[in-house]
Amino acid sequence: MRPPPALSHGARATADLLTQFGLHPDKSLGQHFLVDPNQVERIVRLSGVTNGDHVVEVGPGLGALTAGLVEAGTTVVAVEIDAGLVTALEAQFSKQDVRVVHADALTADWNSIAPDAHRWAMVANLPYNVATPLVLDVLDGVPQIDHLLVMVQHEVAERLAAAAGSPNYGLPSVKVAYWGSAELVARVPRSVFLPQPRVESALVSIRRDPNFARTEPIDEVYLLARTAFAQRRKMVRRSLRSLVDHDMLDRAGISPDERPERIDVDAWCRLAAERRAARDV
């Protein structure tokens, strides 16, 4: 008998599904299953996805959010690394518009998962241990995913959405701002998960700039930012001395006495342009 999608259940039904399929939450994979239907409805609503949209979900677990996305009328590709959970998902959604992909999202072929014939949204409760690299990899390499609403550890959400000058501003903030904009849209209590994590979660919305026009490659911009943030307590005239000189900083409008956490992405791009121009002379 095919079990019902997990959206119709809470913690007890989720525990029953784990028992039915002989599964246990795997700490090494950061598995914390969403068991609150109200939170599922909120995530779907905040994502803005509607009937006919194409959605990729990473780390679907037992399918609570998957069911909510199906109910909204979307086409879902669910990427799950755990073979046991893949079996449970396929049993629940075999008659729904859901494709379950058994893969590691960090090494997966995204053109196969989310073909660029469509625009895609990523809506997911991401495992804590892969959240930041996955979001940044998707922004760098999967342009057909133009909107992300992802649940991550609260402090990760703050870093992804931080503006220059904020204590949370760092390399992830620079890369997100390079591609678009991010906003922390909701906090999520520990009580809505099974098992409960030790930290709070948050939902962060990331949207690509629809009029993206940056000319400096992200690798060039990121090299400068990464080098500076590796010595974030130092002024950039010292941390970047092997890459740029005082004149380049001046032409980019960056004080040589500035520290990296106060330099916004536009300034990093200007500095990358100055470095490129100096190489081309």
Q: Which fold has domain 6-208?
A: Rossmann fold (3.40.50)
Place of tokens 């995204």: 110
Strands (E), the chain: 33-34, 54-58, 75-80, 98-102, 120-125, 145-153, 180-188, 193-194, 201-208
Q: Residue 4: is the preceding peptide bond cis (ω within 30°)? A: no
Q: Which fold has domain 218-280?
A: Helicase, Ruva Protein; domain 3 (1.10.8)
The predicted-structure confidence for 93-115, as pLDDT tens digits, reads as follows 999 999 999 999 999 999 999 99
Query: What are the residue boundaries of the structural domains of the chain, listed by start?
Result: 6-208, 218-280
The pLDDT of residue 8: 56
Per-residue DSSP letters for 147-212?
EEEEEEEHHHHHHHHPPTTSTT-SHHHHHHHHHEEEEEEEEE-GGGEESPPSS-EEEEEEEE-TT-
The predicted-structure confidence for 188-197, as pLDDT tens digits, reads as follows 999 999 999 9
The pLDDT of residue 181: 98
Its pTM surpasses 0.85: yes
The pLDDT of residue 1: 42
Q: Is the pLDDT of residue 10 over 90?
A: no
